[in-house]
Chains A and B, each alone.
Chain A
Amino acid sequence: MTETGSQFEEFFNDPRWAPAIIRATVLEAAHPQVGAALLDSSTFVTHPWRRLRNTVVSLQRMFGPDEEVRRREAARLNRLHARLKGTDAQHRPYDALDPAVRAWVVATLFESSVTMCRLSGQPLEQAVMERLYAEFRAYLAALDGDADQLPPTVHAFWPYYDRVVEEQLENTEAMRIILYRLFDHLPAPPLLHGLPTLWAAGRAVAGPLLGAITVASLPEPFRRRAGLPELPGTQTLMQGVYLGAGLARFLPEGWVRPEAVIDLLSLSPDSDDPRARTIGALRDRMKRAGALVRLLAPLPPEPDPGAAATVARRSAEEFFAQVLDQTGNGYLDWPDLAAMAREIAGRLDLDEPAETRLYDAFAAWWRELQAALDTDGDGRVSAAEYAAAVPSLAGPALIRVAEVLFDVTDANGDQRVDADEYRALFRTGFRRDVPGADGPYTRGAFVRDFLAFMSGRERSTPYDPLLAEA
């Protein structure tokens, strides 16, 4: 598909990609089918950093030089998308494998790349644009087998794009969530978990700004039809951001490396990565600054005396929000558990049939949970239902999940999880002092720890970085 140094890779290291990829995601989400799939299954609101990292890794694999890596990644994406189908709130079916839908996702990536150059005052030359388009068509072909859903030339692409924007895009719920909720509630990346105050302060300024910039960069016909606000000055602001980010191309080579930044952001501060120690020192200084800010902040009104009584209960609800409710819709249902399975399968780079075994185990656990906890019979488990019945969480199906997880983690099948296998599963949270990190981890200990995390709500286990942290 691509020789080394493809047009895409050049873009990939371009800081303008950050606003462009947000824009592409909004345009994706405005497609009714994609929007419905995102709304039902995606974890991007609750775990945006994890999702960002997974997306970047996937794109790198798909546009990388290695044919075999590309083939496996395409197969993995196809399996992942095959699990995303259902009906939206208006009972319209959606299917992530629908070729027209996938073509649209690729189209938004291509169009946003072209637009980011245009908006920053450096429009692409026709030849470069054609080469980039060919690369994106090849990306679609690697997924679907052919790229027939995308017009064959750039010339034919624009009418197709304009038609979809004008006729198919809607003001979907998923798009509104990205524009208005995600930026306002963006959780701190794992690296900055110790600094909630500073993070919230920065986010209060940057969040609405990001939303306004993204809205201003959307195609005019769509903005009009979706009834998105026109804020005075945002056009200029948006172009200024693109222009400013575009100037970074004058920086010496190697200064701008998005993977490095994303890797760093997802780095768990406790891991024994050498960079984590450097960051740890910096983080300690920032932590002290955060502590000082909190101590200097004026005292809030006296808390009511009844608050202390609800502490024990809150921790069950905390666990529900941080670990179980992966999609962040306030309920525990199948997409939440599917998201856990997806994250684990991605980490371990599972192939068939191991991936299906893992999903099946999670599906069985979901049936068990539903039977035990869904007391009002609405098909999903609310935080209150969960808090009322926590002890029954460790049923046989959960034990089965732990066992399957052990089997798939134990890549060489020697009935123990050695250091490398352990690292594959918990890599950002890998610490030496965790039992099993030094010596091999036996099946019994592995299952016990997993159950302790899932039912005992034990904190600061390696599972926290895997399933709870952004």
Chain B
Amino acid sequence: MTVGEAAGGAVGRVPRHVACVMDGNGRWAARRSLPRTSGHRAAETTVIDVIEAARTAGVEWLSLYAFSTENWRRPSTEVDFLMRLVRRVVRKHAPLLHARGIRCRFLGVADPRIPPALARDFTDLMTLTGENRGMTLTVAFDHGGRSDIVAAARSLIRSGVPADAVDERSFAAHLPFPDTPDVDLVIRTSGEQRISNFMLWQVAYAEWMFPPVLWPDFRAPHFLQCLHTYQQRDRRFGGVPTDANGERPA
């Protein structure tokens, strides 16, 4: 069956917000006796494939976890390579992303170690696609879920709101990109089962999937399979007590 059929069903809705933790580049390279950097390079194809698959399937929000605040601990040559690679990928695909009506955003990007040229490309891409009304692609780059929450708390305190007036909704308004809806589905490739400090606030009610395939081998069919499984789960939602993970916000 196709995703289109599933999306047409009353219960099996396409998740509104899908997030991917792009894991397994290093292992992919190691299995082929290649340097880690070639794994990152191979990830580019997957990223473009997944963006296209998500857009076609009707996903409105797609978030990709590209680089965490902890990734700075990797060897500096690998970090440098990643920075150059990301810059090349951003510039290469900018016109295509814009033409597809995708609104691009970069979450994080606060560390001074990010090369200024790369930061300017991020800003340019956000400016270029800011008015697009297709899918919103959020790339978490130099992102940390906890530090986002801390930043929101700081902003909240600075705004002088009395403690009793703070609820979940008003707190969330201080997070970066507050219009981002809760994540419905997180896909972490390579079989690892960790959160790794990713969008901690937004994944509170998310469904999780851990396909064993490594990120450079992950393709549109894998992605659609995940959507399908999500829809199956959703169909049983509330029917099976062990699967109930709390009430989903409207």
- Name A287-307 residues within 8 Å CB distance of B: 287-288, 290-292, 294-296, 299-300, 302-303, 305
Closest A residue to B117 by CB, please name it. Answer: A303
The answer, among A290, A295, A302, for a CB contact under 8 Å with B95, is A295
How many residues belonging to A are interface residues under a CB distance threshold of 8 Å?
Answer: 16
Q: Is A251 an interface residue (CB 8 A)?
A: no
Can you identify 7 A-B contacts, CB atoms within 8 angstroms? A287-B127, A291-B127, A295-B124, A296-B94, A299-B87, A303-B117, A308-B116
Chain A-chain B contacts (Cβ-Cβ < 8 Å), number? 45
Closest B residue to A302 by CB, please name it. Answer: B84
Q: Is B88 an interface residue (CB 8 A)?
A: yes
Residues from chain A with Cβ under 8 Å of B120 in the complex: 294
B interface residues (Cβ-Cβ under 8 A, vs A)? 80, 84, 87-88, 90-91, 94-95, 98, 112-113, 115-117, 120-121, 123-125, 127-128, 130-131
Residues from chain B with Cβ under 8 Å of A295 in the complex: 90-91, 94-95, 121, 124-125, 128
Residues from chain A with Cβ under 8 Å of B116 in the complex: 308, 311
Q: How far is the CA of A302 from the CA of B41 in the complex (A)?
A: 18
For the complex formed, measure the closest distance between the CB of A300 and the CB atoms of chain B, giving whole angstroms. Answer: 8
Q: How far is the CA of A295 from the CA of B127 in the complex (A)?
A: 11
Q: How far is the CA of A308 from the CA of B119 in the complex (A)?
A: 12
Q: How far is the CA of A463 from the CA of B95 in the complex (A)?
A: 37
Contact (Cβ within 8 A) A303 B128: no
Closest A residue to B129 by CB, please name it. Answer: A288
Q: How far is the CA of A308 from the CA of B76 in the complex (A)?
A: 14
Contact (Cβ within 8 A) A299 B95: no
A interface residues (Cβ-Cβ under 8 A, vs B)? 284, 287-288, 290-292, 294-296, 299-300, 302-303, 305, 308, 311
Closest A residue to B112 by CB, please name it. Answer: A311
Q: How far is the CA of A399 from the CA of B121 in the complex (A)?
A: 40
Closest A residue to B93 by CB, please name it. Answer: A295
Contact (Cβ within 8 A) B117 A292: no
Q: How far is the CA of A308 from the CA of B80 in the complex (A)?
A: 13
Asked, given contacts A295-B124, A295-B125, A299-B88, whether A288 binds B130 with beta carbons under 8 Å apart, the answer is: yes
Residues from chain A with Cβ under 8 Å of B112 in the complex: 308, 311
Kindly list the 7 A-B residue pairs having the minimum CB-CB distance in the complex, ordered from nearest: A291-B124, A291-B128, A295-B94, A291-B127, A288-B128, A294-B124, A295-B124
Asked, given contacts A287-B127, A291-B127, A292-B95, whether A308 binds B115 with beta carbons under 8 Å apart, the answer is: yes
Residues from chain A with Cβ under 8 Å of B125 in the complex: 291, 295
Residues from chain A with Cβ under 8 Å of B124 in the complex: 290-292, 294-295
Contact (Cβ within 8 A) B115 A303: yes
Contact (Cβ within 8 A) A296 B95: yes
The answer, among A284, A291, A302, A308, for a CB contact under 8 Å with B113, is A308
Closest A residue to B87 by CB, please name it. Answer: A299
Closest A residue to B80 by CB, please name it. Answer: A305
Residues from chain B with Cβ under 8 Å of A296 in the complex: 91, 94-95
Closest B residue to A305 by CB, please name it. Answer: B80
Q: How far is the CA of A305 from the CA of B81 in the complex (A)?
A: 12
For the complex formed, measure the closest distance between the CB of A43 and the CB atoms of chain B, giving whole angstroms. Answer: 29
Contact (Cβ within 8 A) A288 B94: no
Residues from chain B with Cβ under 8 Å of A303 in the complex: 115, 117
Contact (Cβ within 8 A) A288 B117: no
Asked, given contacts A291-B127, A308-B112, whether A299 binds B91 with beta carbons under 8 Å apart, the answer is: yes
Residues from chain B with Cβ under 8 Å of A308 in the complex: 112-113, 115-116
For the complex formed, measure the closest distance between the CB of B108 and the CB atoms of chain A, giving whole angstroms. Answer: 18
Q: How far is the CA of A291 from the CA of B120 in the complex (A)?
A: 9
